[in-house]
Amino acid sequence: DGGITQSPKYLFRKEGQNVTLSCEQNLNHDAMYWYRQDPGQGLRLIYYSQIVNDFQKGDIAEGYSVSREKKESFPLTVTSAQKNPTAFYLCASSIGHGSYEQYFGPGTRLTVT
């Protein structure tokens, strides 16, 4: 079955620690995305990647970092510089960047205390 996997489903960290969220897709999609979801605010774009070894900042990139060393993988690191990291994080992919529908993973709920 083709799709996007995110792991883990729930993640707990202490303040001051970096944490990496996993996102893998087997859809052979070129573009991948990371969104943050907070209640009542919809989805906000953190980073996106149009192709391997390339990525661009979204609207709220501060305190986050990404890499795209393989087509199928796009991990997100939430650094200690992110002031309010507790949120639901969604990874998505699409055939190409732009006007194509995006396919979403199940999400990772990160809680930082």
Q: Where do contacts with other proteins occur on this chain (CB under 8 A)?
A: 4, 6, 40-43, 88, 90, 92, 97-107, 109
Cβ closest to other proteins, residue 77 vs residue 104? 104
The two tokens of residue 21 are: 């969220």
Q: How far is the CB of 81 from other proteins (least distance, A)?
A: 25
Contacts of 4 (CB under 8 A, 6+ apart): 23, 24, 25, 27, 91, 92, 93, 103, 104, 105, 106
The rounded Cα 24 to chain-centroid distance in angstroms is 10
Contact 27, 71 (CB under 8 A): no
Q: How far is the CB of 79 from other proteins (least distance, A)?
A: 24
Cβ closest to other proteins, residue 82 vs residue 102? 102
Q: How far is the CB of 35 from other proteins (least distance, A)?
A: 8
Cβ closest to other proteins, residue 15 vs residue 66? 66
